[in-house]
């Protein structure tokens, strides 16, 4: 259950990062509200998950999902540059997250 919370928190991290971009420096109301809601949800779920998980692997999963999700969202919907190196880097981030998780979490 704790891992599910961390995974959902990672997707919410993607949401708050995208809303942060769309808020244009907190000058647009709805993206700013979205940022706040996604951030509160993300940090809340991460905090709950960390009660029973090792911090290193859990944090890596949270940030890995957030980073990869944000990069993919940007490429698909915000017109960010798409390149082989960027896609390969996202794959390496995800491989690193899985590797860290497999390397010794006891939960």
Tell me, yes or no, whether 107 lies in a domain: no
Q: What is the mean pLDDT of residues 25-53?
A: 98
Mean pLDDT of the chain: 94
Buried-exposed string 50-77: b where 16+ CB fall within 10 A, e elsewhere? beebeeebbbbbbebbbbbbbbbbbbee
Given a cut of 60, whether residue 105 has pLDDT beyond it is no
Say how many domains are in the chain: 1
Q: What is the mean pLDDT of residues 31-54?
A: 98
Range of the domain at 60: 2-102
Name the residue among 52, 36, 75 with its Cα closest to residue 4: 52
Name the residue among 4, 20, 11 with its Cα closest to residue 72: 11
Tell me, yes or no, whether 12 lies in a domain: yes
Tell me, yes or no, whether 43 lies in a domain: yes
Tell me, yes or no, whether 85 lies in a domain: yes
């Amino acid at each position: 259950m704790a891992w599910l919370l961390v995974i959902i928190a990672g997707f919410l991290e993607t949401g708050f990062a995208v809303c942060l971009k769309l808020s244009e420096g907190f000058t647009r109301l709805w993206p700013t509200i979205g940022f706040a809601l996604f951030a509160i949800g993300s940090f809340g779920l991460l905090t709950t998950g960390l009660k029973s998980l090792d911090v290193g692997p859990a944090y890596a999963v949270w940030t890995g999902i957030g980073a990869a999700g944000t990069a993919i969202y940007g490429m698909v919907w915000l017109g960010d540059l798409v390149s082989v190196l960027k896609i390969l880097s996202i794959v390496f981030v995800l491989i690193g997250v899985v590797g860290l998780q497999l390397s010794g979490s006891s939960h």
